[in-house]
Structures are given as C-alpha cells and as structure tokens.
Amino acid sequence: MPENVANTDQLIRHNWTQQQVEALYDLAFADLMYRAQTAHRENFNPNEVQISTLLSIKTGGCAEDCGYCPQSAHHESAVKAEPLMPLDKVLESAAQAKATGASRFCMGAAWRNLKDRDLERVADMVSGVKDMGLETCVTLGMLEQHQAKRLKQAGLDYYNHNLDTSPEFYGDIISTRTYQDRLDTLAHVRANDIHVCSGGIVGMGESRQDRAGLLISLANLPSHPESVPINLLVKVEGTPLANHDNIDQLEFVRTIAVARLMMPKSYVRLSAGRESMSDELQAMCFLAGANSIFYGEKLLTTDNPDTDHDQQLFERLGITTLAGQHTADVKEACHH
C-alpha cells in the first residue's frame, strides 16, 4: 500500500492534500471498497440508511446561473417561477413524508439568497415541521448571520448549501456567486450551531482532480459536514450541461468510497441522479459507504425513484431505515 494512504485516513482529519486523495482514488477497486466498508462499519450500522424527503417550497426564477440547474432564470428550461408555498401545503407534504418513512424533511427554495421579508414565513415552516417530530432542513441559497440565528431559534436542524465542485472548476459552472460566498454561508450556519449539509455534483465534465478537490474542500472545513450529499448530474434539456458525457459509474462509486474514508462519521447521501441508476449501482454505493438517500418521486424539479421501488430495493438488500422501521411496513408514498 502506498505510504501516503496509510491508515491515518481512519481518523478525523482536516489536513488532506491533493496527492493523498488522488492516491485513494487510484487504489485497486476492491481495496478501496474494503477500506471504505471497514471505515463505514466502525462508525455506522452498515445495514441502516437515513431517509430524507425534499420539497420545493419556492420553484423557479432563480437569479443564479448554475449550469446544471433548470430553475435558473438564465436557462431555456421548462421550470416556471412560482411563489413561496403556503404553510398548510408544506405541512401536508411533511405529514405525507413522515407517513412514508422519512425522518428528515428538507425544504428548498430557488433563491440566490434568503431575503428578510421571507424569513418569518420560512421560520414558521421550520417550526411546524419540527413540531411533527421530523428533523428539519432547508436550502435557501446564501444566508446571513442574523438569518441563521432566527432559523436556529425556529428549530432548524440542518442547512444545505453545496460547494458543488472544486474551487478550480467552480468558475466553469457558476459565475453569479463565488466559492467564498458559499464558504461564508457555511460558516454562518456552523456559528449558529446548525448542522451542515454540504456536498457536490459529479459528472459535470470535471476531472478526477476536481472530484478530489471537492472532497478536500469539504473534509478540510473546521468541522466535517454532518451530511454530505453526492449528486450525479441530472441532465435537463435547456441547461448548459444537458449534453455532457456520462461519468463512468465505477468512478461515481469511487467518489462515494473516498468521501466515506475522508469523512468517516458523516452521513454520505446518495442524492440526485438515482433515477438513472440501476439497483446494482445503488447497492454498490451503499457498500462504498453511502447511508442516506432522498426519498420521494421528485427532487425539487427532477425525477427520483418512487418510494415503492426504494422499499423493494431495501428489502432485497436487508436494509432498514434509521428510525428502525422496516421499509416493508411503510406505506407507499402519496407525495408528488
């Protein structure tokens, strides 16, 4: 085994180098999977997966120009701008998510940043979902210190704000906000004792060096994100990335495994792109250390496997949900 990938990667570290992470990627596939599964078992039940459901509470019309996103006002995609959802509709969706096995309810708004005029309405949503016994998560774009404080008071458990890719490749994907803007938002979240959910997207035309760079940016934060979503690019007609070549599927699994080794105590979430993944590929991702998924037929605006299919896959793999409720006993989803 190369000296620069010695067992120090089993420890909680914040000083990863590019060379060390690329060396992990370069391991023989079986060796990488063995090490990732070993690290996973040291920190988690390997047959348990955390379930989150994601609802778009404010769709379309976003001022950002993220190259992958159909909600951007800059792209010729089909998502129309809609107003913020009313509170009762949000709570209805949360109730359905809980009934179908979700333990965390995530609310996403297509905003460049949260505006103070919307803060109290979102805080009411967070409080309402929290009162139902669900973990709460929001993704609202950039956040200021006083806004993070108010959301924490409302009962917010997680704030999602992805870094998307490496600092070097970032400018090829987004021009309307900087990498530092994203890091600043994560700092405000952490300063207010809200759990951080931050990951990225692979398959956007980035190199393996960029995938390593993304994971370094996440693992070298002052604290590892408690939740690390690894998204596979969903190619949406009308977005600049619609015609990119598909990433090699084993390279995607390697990214999950390296994330597990670098952030051994974080939940690694298999996020966007599951609709295009075979059951076998998803099973390999779970073996590589993924232990969280988004559940439900929509991820904001893109398709996701239906909950009945997920239940059947979990049954075949002997996987239970984090709440300890076996998926076979969970009712079929009615949330669209």
Q: Are 164 and 201 in contact (CB under 8 A)?
A: yes
62 is catalytic: yes
Q: For residues 132 and 117, give the distance between their C-alpha atoms in angstroms, rounded to a whole number.
A: 25
Choose the catalytic residue: 66, 177, 182, 260: 66
Choose the catalytic residue: 104, 150, 260, 269: 269
DSSP 3-state of 12: coil
DSSP state letters, 213-249: HHHHHHHTSSS--SEEEEEEP---TTSTTTTPPPPPH
Q: How far is CA 271 from CA 7, 197, 327, in A?
A: 28, 12, 19
Q: Which residue carries 């969706």 as its tokens?
A: 93
DSSP 3-state of 302: strand
Q: For residues 71 and 312, give the distance between their C-alpha atoms in angstroms, rounded to a whole number.
A: 31
66 is catalytic: yes
285 is catalytic: no
Choose the catalytic residue: 106, 150, 260, 285: 106
Choose the catalytic residue: 35, 197, 211, 260: 197
DSSP 3-state of 275: helix
φ, ψ for residue 86, nearest 5 deg: -70, 155
334 is catalytic: no
Among residues 107, 229, 114, the alpha carbon closest in space to that of 156 is found at 107
- Tell me the β-bridge partners of 197: 160, 227
Q: Are 295 and 101 in contact (CB under 8 A)?
A: yes
Choose the catalytic residue: 62, 104, 177, 260: 62
Q: Are 141 and 109 in contact (CB under 8 A)?
A: yes
The alpha helices in the chain, defined as continuous H runs, are 18-25, 29-43, 87-99, 116-131, 145-154, 167-170, 179-191, 208-219, 249-262, 279-287, 307-317
Q: Are 226 and 269 in contact (CB under 8 A)?
A: no
Active site residues: 62, 66, 69, 106, 137, 197, 269
